[in-house]
Amino acid sequence: MPGAKHAILSPSASHIWLRCTRAPRMCEDLPDQQTDYARQGTQAHSLCQYKLEKALGYDVRDPREELDLLDEEMESCSDDYVQFVMQLLSEMRQTCSDPVILIEQRLDFSEWVPDGFGYGDCILVADGAIHVIDFKYGEGVLVDARENSQMMCYALGAINLLDNLYDISSVSMTIFQPRRENVSTWTQDKFELLGWADTVLKPAADLAYKGEGTFCAGEHCRFCRARATCRARAEYNLELARYDFAMPDTLEDDEISAILSKIDSLTSWAADIREYALSQALSGKHFEGFKVVNGRSVRRYTSETDVAKAVTDAGFDPYERSILGITAMTKLLGKRRFEEILGQFVIKAPGKPTLVPESDKRQAANSAKNDFSETEDN
């Protein structure tokens, strides 16, 4: 996959450095840990690229032998992505005889971001409009295309590359996130996008590239490599200490609301601190008042094969049978076959109630008070 070299101000981290311009230089020399989730995403992108190019009739090499994390779900998600792109291309061909498609195209937006570049998963061009598509394999965070700075940076790069050839008037940006069943599209006028680039993106990028401006803590911190040691984040979260963690019945409602608004950030920060301290302690650093110990030991078999044979020889059945869970069954059958065979046997009960900010897009659940009122009305 192209893009081994990473930009200091990467588009994927733009939601961080647009808010906290000091972050990129502070993180510059910190290691970027490669997780299995990141490797899985990289391999899924490679499979998507191969399948899309093959669908377009290109002579391409199958990468499957090199994808050690390949499974049925990745196959299914990449098929869905290709189907989505090819459907868009087909629709464009109804009004344009020769739409253009670019795959894993290097996009330069250094006019606004110093050394700024990235790679667009797929770009479609027809009738003065650009459609930028980004494949997201992750399922942890639902990604919205609206005012998504990463997508807007890609769109700027696409305009920079294609505007002189096609006289672009608008740009559509789509996040395709199959494991969350999320297809999010946002369309923006070209001149609105360029206005944002000049007045918001460029000033922040210039400060971030120089390592100037201010630290700014917030929800974006959880994706920053310096999240465990950043003093600004610590001060932001320790602001809760002014409540002295009093019992809830001693707090006013507005105080509880203030705590609720930061509690996710606080717990995430605390977990990052603990993880960082443990990794440092294992490397030999001592934190006053703490030591590393072994956790609870769990018994395990040295060989399940030998255990099965020994129990069978003793006249017992060593196995238990249980039906696969929905996730495992979907991986076994594939998404489409799962729906065909088992769709009628699956229900989706309401999830456990949880308290979230009003900005959350999910519909509010009825409270016990509302339920009682509705019963009385009936």
List the chain domain ranges.
Answer: 11-210, 220-282, 304-343
For tokens 């733009």, name the residue. 14
Per-residue pLDDT of the chain (378 residues; tens, 9 = 90+): 444 456 789 999 999 999 999 999 988 888 777 788 889 999 999 999 999 999 999 999 999 999 999 998 999 999 999 999 999 999 999 888 889 999 999 999 999 999 999 999 999 999 889 999 999 999 888 899 999 999 999 999 999 999 888 889 999 999 999 999 899 999 999 999 999 999 999 999 999 999 999 898 888 888 888 888 888 888 887 776 666 566 666 778 887 887 788 788 788 888 888 888 888 888 888 888 888 888 777 888 999 999 999 999 999 999 988 898 888 888 888 888 898 999 899 988 777 888 777 877 778 877 655 554 544 555
CATH no. of 11-210: 3.90.320
Note the pLDDT of residue 372: 47
Note the pLDDT of residue 244: 59
Query: Own/partner pairs for 230-233, CB < 8 Å, 24+ apart?
Result: 230/26, 232/20, 233/269
For tokens 């409009």, name the residue. 129
Note the pLDDT of residue 225: 86
Note the pLDDT of residue 245: 61
Note the pLDDT of residue 227: 86
